[in-house]
Amino acid sequence: MRTKGITIWLFSTLTVITMMHLIDSVNALFFSNQIQLLQLYPFANTFLTQMSIQTYFYVSAGASAILWGITCILAFDNPVETFLNHILSDAQKQRSKESQIVEDNGGLFDLMYEKMESDSEVLLEVKDLIRNVRTEVRDIAPIKESMLRTKRDLNKINKQLISLEEQVLFPLLCNSCKKPIRADFKVCPYCSELLKLPEVTISHNRDFQIK
């Protein structure tokens, strides 16, 4: 703002000087008076006084118009500059508001950061726990396979026991229908065939004797 004021003051001063030269040239051109202002310059007065009155008039008029226009442009508000200044001002205000919000909510941000750190520690603990569980599951897998193998063996043994039990309870076959029957049956329960079973005696020395 100070630079703009100095610039306006400088161009307005130059405009006044050129207008004084314009008045001097008009006085010399239309009223046939002698040129006065050009003689005031200490080093260039000899060269300037040799310039014709018409040239002096046109140069002073053109310079006055140009400097007057520049002064007016600088003095009045430039819409582009005003718009840019408005944008910069809004940006500055927004930055100030954001800074104020950050300062006001600094404690909240600190709590959020501490919460995130705490959650990170919990996640690390959970990750370690999951890793340990995976290790234990990996260790349990062979035991599970061994148990399944044992279960299959027990099923086989159970089937063999059932088969052995059937052979013990039904050791004989009917000659007619070929179905297993108990040793104490005298008639086949399936075909009613009279069974001819050998008599078995058991001695004290636990030897079997068939008659």
Of all residues in the chain, what percent are helix, strand and coil, respectively (each to 5)? 70, 5, 25
Q: For residue 82, give the amino acid letter.
A: T
CB 60 within 8 A of CB 25: yes
Domain boundaries, the chain: 2-76, 170-210
Average pLDDT over residues 174-188: 77
Give per-residue pLDDT as tens, 1-52. Answer: 678 788 889 999 999 999 999 999 999 888 888 888 887 877 777 777 788 8
Distances (CA, A) of 40 to 19, 46, 80: 16, 10, 42
Give per-residue pLDDT as tens, 41-99. Answer: 777 777 777 888 899 899 999 999 999 999 988 887 666 677 777 788 888 888 888 77
Give the predicted TM-score (pTM) of the model: 0.37
Distance from C-alpha of 165 to C-alpha of 182, rounded to nearest angstrom: 11
Distances (CA, A) of 41 to 45, 50, 81, 210: 5, 13, 39, 166
